[in-house]
Chains A and B, each alone.
Chain A
Amino acid sequence: MTALAESFLKELEAVTSTVDLRQLRSRYTGKNGVLTGELKKLPTLTPHERAAFGKQINDDKVFIEESIKEYEKQLVSKEIKTKLARDPVDITLPGCYKKPGGRHPVTIVLAEITDIFVSMGFGIEEGPEVESDYYNFEALNIPKNHPARDMQDTFYIETNCTGASAQSGEGAFVLRTHTSPVQIRVMKHSRPPLRFIAPGKVYRCDSDVSHSPMFHQVEGLVVDKNISFANLKGLLEGFLKKVFGPSVPVRLRPSFFPFTEPSAEVDMGCYFCKGNGCRVCKGTGWIEIMGAGMVDPRVFRNVGYDSDIYSGFAFGMGIERIASLKYGIDDIRLYYEGDLRFLRQF
């Protein structure tokens, strides 16, 4: 090792920062550095000496550059570590991100129900929220001046046109009281086989802890050859077990809807007391969850289907009711108050 290399090494050992290292490098390898100084001695040497001296200087240069490069790596990683150690994060401070907003429970439940039916090959249909008397009532076998109209408190729409025939859909308009008119709309423009659900807002002239003037329903319809009441039971039991768990008991009991015959109320075992009887199920152990039935032949007649060939079933459920059971919500008004403390829980 040359004296030059030795003195370099001595200086290198003393260097502790990348800044000092850069200075050391320029002192040795810079334009006016030690190595350049050494090279200036060349003209004073004999040609014979020159070759050996030149090679020696070159070796020194390579040695110095390599050493600096190597040392620099060590220094940099050491400096990063020191710097990080001097600038620690509080790992318990919250991360920086946008807090996701809340989903509306009605949307969640609606999506869940939709997914289940779509997985069974059901389509999704829609209809207007302001309906004609014909679609909302007449076509569904709810004639004018019939007590069945009392089953749903109806909002009527102010309209300029009077005397027009309700049959043409231009008569009295109502805020639809159920999603069932979508059945008529779809059957009127398509032929069996049919299977679809129709979700949407519905309106009833009623307001208290368990009734809202606006709420959401999902209607379902299946029409094909050889559809039986047993099929209705099978499908709805399967659906409710998917939503509320495989052990939930389900029962159908006779009821009355003008557009189904036979009609059924669908009850499930009370979610809260497991059938022992509580406030929610009024001590009966059962909770009414859906209405359903075989499509009434009068409805098929209204849409031009032959009830000797086709049969079908329809069902309808309230989304808020299902959401309330799932999430333990006892006041339906909470869904529409827009209270973020409520909505952000979902």
Chain B
Amino acid sequence: MLISYNWLKDYINFTESPEAVADVLTMAGLEVEGLKKQADGDVILELNVTPNRADCLSVIGVARDVSTVLKKKLILPEISDFDNATDVINKDVKIKVEILDTNLCHRYCGIVINGVKIAPSPDWMQLRLQTAGIRPINNIVDITNYVLLEYGQPLHAFDKSKLKGDVIIVRAAEKPEAITTLDGIQRTVPAGTLLICDASAPLAIAGVMGGAGSAVTEATTDIFLESAWFDAASIRVTSKQTALRSESSFRFERQTDIEGVKRAALRAASLMIDYCVGCVSEVIDNYPTRYSAQQIVLNYKKVQSFLGVQISEDEIVAILSRLDFKVERQNGSIVVTPPSFRRDIELEADLIEEVARIYGYNNIPAVMPQLSLSINNVSDKHKKLAELRQSLRYAGFTETINYSFTTNDDFTLLDIPEGDERRNAVTVKNPLQKDFNILRTSLVPSLLRNLKYNISLGAKEVYIYEISTVFFDSGSGFPHERLKLAALSYSSGGKRLYAEPAAHFYRIKGLLESVLSGLRCMNYELRQSNEGFLADGQSADIFIGDDKAGFLGLITAEIAARLDMTDEKPDIAVFEMEKIISDNESVPVYRTNLMHKFPPIERDIAIVVDDACHSCDIGNIIKNESLDPEHLIESVEIFDHYRGKNIPEGRKSLAYHIVYRSQDRTLLDSDVDTLHAEIVKSVMTKTGGTLRA
């Protein structure tokens, strides 16, 4: 809302500067977002009027708040009620107003003005309209807009000669109906739309826009002026359905002052007589659904305790009275009747806010609350997520956060097959842009886009991760939301100062292992993956129990090519996993292994086996309990994995370090020799391997 500083002076005698007025309004809840100096010395206040303050969508409404804070009298315009017939002619011309839908139209006033001369409105009025952002048209239309700005009551002027049958019918459309609006566009409004009609056709979409057929033109001499109260929700629905927003609909949506309907019409009529030469011939006021003022009991002790400040009963009464609330004192409480233009005031709390905002939030002390201690709900999840982020960070990975929005292109990019759960995405009805129309089911495509973007910026190495919620359509009801962790590791293979420790697959696997061991999650298993976007033989699925919890591996060259990667053999490894944090909040029972002081005996075993043989299988053979009934094996660790010179094609050499230790004695070589020999034999038999020479 744009409010002229000079216009405010029509209603209050004050000397405060525009800046001071802006501060007064801001601190009373009408935020002034900017001040604009005008050529004529006036200053425009740019007000952000919150949806509850319909009364402040008018200059008088804003003036009332200023007068309340400044403790100055509000001076309202003098308005004739035209009961003195000197300027009233043709009393016998009757227009009948029929309100067929009294739920949607509670009151309808009409004034007939004859013999007007259409001309430009006076300069001062045009200027006020322009500074408020309204284009001047002619004296009649400008006066309706002027009164709209002054009182917040939308008005509409019809060319009376275009009305058929001297009747105005206010009704809701029973079926879709056609009307050409003022902007020249033919529209069809749905059933239920409130319409203003004459004997034959709709003249206007009530509260939203007038029709072209009955508009005031240069040739107009007789005016039918409408001032009415329409149901806020109904006007809002119509405005949305027709995609028409006007100064009128904006105010009706927020509830106009039903008691001010006639006053605004009379004010406009007075101005029309002053500036358009006409005479008022008829004043109609059809008010079938009466406003009844609500009374609210306000306990002033409650005001004090709720706000936490010792504000006196007198001050409370004074503030409310200055805001035009009717106040009656009773024992310990007051009975308050809010004015008809403050329909937002329904409860005691609403009154307390009125008191507080005029008293000044700045005058209320800041006091820390006194609360009793309790065991609060800070779940392990937050601690674990923090730890997880920390460990990923020290593994060299940078956190990214990507939009939850994406498109079906994600599925195409990764060749996600039809029927795969990940295609079961949630759709956004009104996406901001075309490529934002579904919600993610996987984080990997986002990380691949991050990769592409960073490579375009010249990055040679990209180590990134994201922890975010993904969404799966549940068919009905709430979608399923799951927390996922995904990481991506890429290096262009350029020269580096110190040798890299391992191939890419092992680096991403190492990251996964460090993450999972950090989370004390050890019961997972890797199985051969059949994800189409991961390279054969360089990928695995992560299983927790029998449930697939994720995957890891190298992105195929084909997928990488779709990202326009220029590397010949781009080295992109990813993993994605869910169920990273278990929901189980029960307190676990720990049993610590006791450390034994007896010295260990250490032995190595190096064995040449088939390439297809899995290193962990050999580890399991070594740890086989039937060979080691005394549980002398303390640990088994692989320390060498070799292919190449001196090893036959299709085979590899694996070497393990075994630590033997007894819990109750110092082991002798002779204790271990037999066991170790049996283990070596068992490994050879079960793998078909040979000892490495």
**A and B found bound together:** yes
Q: Are A195 and B398 in contact, CB atoms less than 8 angstroms apart?
A: no
Measured between beta carbons, the chain B residues less than 8 angstroms from A226 are: 305
Total contacting residues, chain B, CB less than 8 A:
94
Measured between beta carbons, the chain B residues less than 8 angstroms from A251 are: 361-362
Interface 0/1 of B250-263, CB less than 8 Å to A: 00011000000000
Interface segment out of the listed A27-35, A65-73, A260-268: A260-268
> In whole angstroms, what is the CA distance A101 to B389 when docked?
10
Query: Which residues of A are at the interface with B, using a C-beta cutoff of 8 A?
Result: 93-94, 96, 98-104, 106-107, 111, 114, 118, 121-125, 128-130, 132, 144-148, 150-151, 155-161, 164, 169-170, 173, 175, 193, 195-196, 201, 203, 205-207, 213-214, 222, 224, 226-231, 233-235, 237-238, 251-256, 258, 261-265, 282, 294, 296-298, 307, 311, 335-341, 343-344
- Min CB gap A148→B, angstroms: 5
Given contacts A205-B432, A256-B51, contact A157 B426 (CB under 8 A): yes
Q: Is B627 an interface residue (CB 8 A)?
A: no
10 smallest CB-CB distances across A and B, nearest first, come from: A230-B308, A254-B29, A228-B308, A256-B50, A338-B450, A123-B376, A262-B353, A123-B377, A101-B398, A231-B369
From B306, B371, B429, give the contact of A156 (CB < 8 A): B429
Q: Is B364 an interface residue (CB 8 A)?
A: yes
B:154-178 near A, CB below 8 Å: none
Given contacts A101-B397, A229-B308, A294-B349, contact A336 B403 (CB under 8 A): yes
> In whole angstroms, what is the CA distance A22 to B477 when docked?
85
Measured between beta carbons, the chain A residues less than 8 angstroms from B118 are: none
| Sampled A-B contacts (13; CB under 8 Å) | A93-B497, A123-B376, A129-B404, A150-B51, A156-B428, A158-B428, A169-B477, A170-B476, A175-B404, A230-B366, A231-B369, A254-B27, A297-B349
> In whole angstroms, what is the CA distance A146 to B234 when docked?
10
> In whole angstroms, what is the CA distance A265 to B26 when docked?
10
> In whole angstroms, what is the CA distance A120 to B259 when docked?
50
Measured between beta carbons, the chain A residues less than 8 angstroms from B641 are: none
- Min CB gap A165→B, angstroms: 12
Interface segment out of the listed B202-210, B457-465, B629-637: B457-465
Q: Are B367 and A160 in contact, CB atoms less than 8 angstroms apart?
A: no
Measured between beta carbons, the chain B residues less than 8 angstroms from A340 are: 398, 454, 457, 459, 462, 464
Q: Are A161 and B479 in contact, CB atoms less than 8 angstroms apart?
A: no
Given contacts A155-B430, A159-B476, A340-B459, contact A230 B365 (CB under 8 A): yes
From A96, A102, A206, A229, give the contact of B364 (CB < 8 A): A229
Q: Are B401 and A114 in contact, CB atoms less than 8 angstroms apart?
A: no
Q: Are A98 and B396 in contact, CB atoms less than 8 angstroms apart?
A: yes
Q: Is B386 an interface residue (CB 8 A)?
A: yes
Q: Is B498 an interface residue (CB 8 A)?
A: yes
Q: Is B130 an interface residue (CB 8 A)?
A: no
Q: Are A124 and B454 in contact, CB atoms less than 8 angstroms apart?
A: no
Q: Are B399 and A343 in contact, CB atoms less than 8 angstroms apart?
A: yes
> In whole angstroms, what is the CA distance A206 to B453 when docked?
23
Measured between beta carbons, the chain B residues less than 8 angstroms from A195 are: 371, 376
B:228-254 near A, CB below 8 Å: 232-233, 236-237, 253-254
Q: Are B306 and A294 in contact, CB atoms less than 8 angstroms apart?
A: yes
* Additional 11 contacts, C-beta under 8 A, given A103-B398, A107-B399, A253-B27: A100-B394, A101-B392, A158-B427, A160-B476, A196-B376, A205-B430, A224-B369, A231-B367, A251-B362, A340-B457, A341-B457
Measured between beta carbons, the chain A residues less than 8 angstroms from B436 are: 213
B:390-417 near A, CB below 8 Å: 392-405
Q: Is B494 an interface residue (CB 8 A)?
A: no
Measured between beta carbons, the chain B residues less than 8 angstroms from A146 are: 51, 233, 236
B:9-61 near A, CB below 8 Å: 26-29, 31, 33-34, 50-53
> In whole angstroms, what is the CA distance A201 to B51 when docked?
25
Measured between beta carbons, the chain A residues less than 8 angstroms from B361 are: 233, 251-254, 264
Measured between beta carbons, the chain B residues less than 8 angstroms from A213 are: 403, 405, 432, 436
Q: Are B367 and A228 in contact, CB atoms less than 8 angstroms apart?
A: yes
Given contacts A201-B469, A337-B453, A340-B462, contact A94 B405 (CB under 8 A): no
Measured between beta carbons, the chain B residues less than 8 angstroms from A294 are: 306, 349
Given contacts A226-B305, A230-B367, contact A147 B389 (CB under 8 A): no
Measured between beta carbons, the chain B residues less than 8 angstroms from A231 are: 308, 367-369
Query: Which residues of B are at the interface with A, using a C-beta cutoff of 8 A?
Result: 26-29, 31, 33-34, 50-53, 232-233, 236-237, 253-254, 305-309, 347-350, 352-353, 356-357, 361-362, 364-369, 371-374, 376-379, 382, 386, 389, 392-405, 426-432, 436, 439, 446, 449-450, 453-454, 457, 459, 462-465, 468-469, 471, 475-479, 481, 497-498
Residue of A nearest to B428 (CB): A155
> In whole angstroms, what is the CA distance A228 to B498 when docked?
62
Q: Are A114 and B382 in contact, CB atoms less than 8 angstroms apart?
A: yes
Q: Are B378 and A124 in contact, CB atoms less than 8 angstroms apart?
A: yes
From B371, B399, B404, give the contact of A214 (CB < 8 A): B404
Interface centre among B392, B397, B398 (most CB of A within 10 A): B398
> In whole angstroms, what is the CA distance A173 to B498 when docked?
53
Q: Are A157 and B367 in contact, CB atoms less than 8 angstroms apart?
A: no
Given contacts A262-B353, A296-B349, A336-B402, contact A233 B478 (CB under 8 A): no
From A104, A175, A230, A255, give the contact of B29 (CB < 8 A): A255
Given contacts A147-B51, A160-B476, A311-B306, contact A235 B369 (CB under 8 A): yes
Given contacts A99-B396, A233-B367, contact A148 B29 (CB under 8 A): no
Q: Are B369 and A234 in contact, CB atoms less than 8 angstroms apart?
A: yes
Q: Are B28 and A147 in contact, CB atoms less than 8 angstroms apart?
A: no
Measured between beta carbons, the chain B residues less than 8 angstroms from A161 are: 476-477
> In whole angstroms, what is the CA distance A147 to B232 when docked?
9
Residue of A nearest to B376 (CB): A123
> In whole angstroms, what is the CA distance A262 to B358 when docked?
12
Measured between beta carbons, the chain B residues less than 8 angstroms from A101 are: 392-399, 463-465
- Min CB gap A90→B, angstroms: 11
From B26, B469, B476, give the contact of A253 (CB < 8 A): B26
Measured between beta carbons, the chain A residues less than 8 angstroms from B449 are: 338
Q: Are B50 and A214 in contact, CB atoms less than 8 angstroms apart?
A: no
- Min CB gap A173→B, angstroms: 7
Residue of B nearest to A125 (CB): B377
From B51, B399, B497, give the contact of A148 (CB < 8 A): B51
> In whole angstroms, what is the CA distance A227 to B397 when docked?
44
Measured between beta carbons, the chain A residues less than 8 angstroms from B401 are: 104, 106, 335-336
Measured between beta carbons, the chain B residues less than 8 angstroms from A147 are: 51, 232, 236, 253-254
Given contacts A201-B404, A261-B353, A338-B402, contact A100 B27 (CB under 8 A): no
Residue of B nearest to A213 (CB): B432
Q: Are A173 and B478 in contact, CB atoms less than 8 angstroms apart?
A: yes
Residue of A nearest to B499 (CB): A96
From A230, A296, A341, give the contact of B309 (CB < 8 A): A230
Q: Are B368 and A235 in contact, CB atoms less than 8 angstroms apart?
A: yes
Measured between beta carbons, the chain A residues less than 8 angstroms from B232 are: 145, 147
Interface centre among A156, A213, A224, A229 (most CB of B within 10 A): A229
- Min CB gap A233→B, angstroms: 4
- Min CB gap B574→A, angstroms: 14
Measured between beta carbons, the chain B residues less than 8 angstroms from A94 are: 497
Q: Are A339 and B50 in contact, CB atoms less than 8 angstroms apart?
A: no
Measured between beta carbons, the chain B residues less than 8 angstroms from A164 are: 476
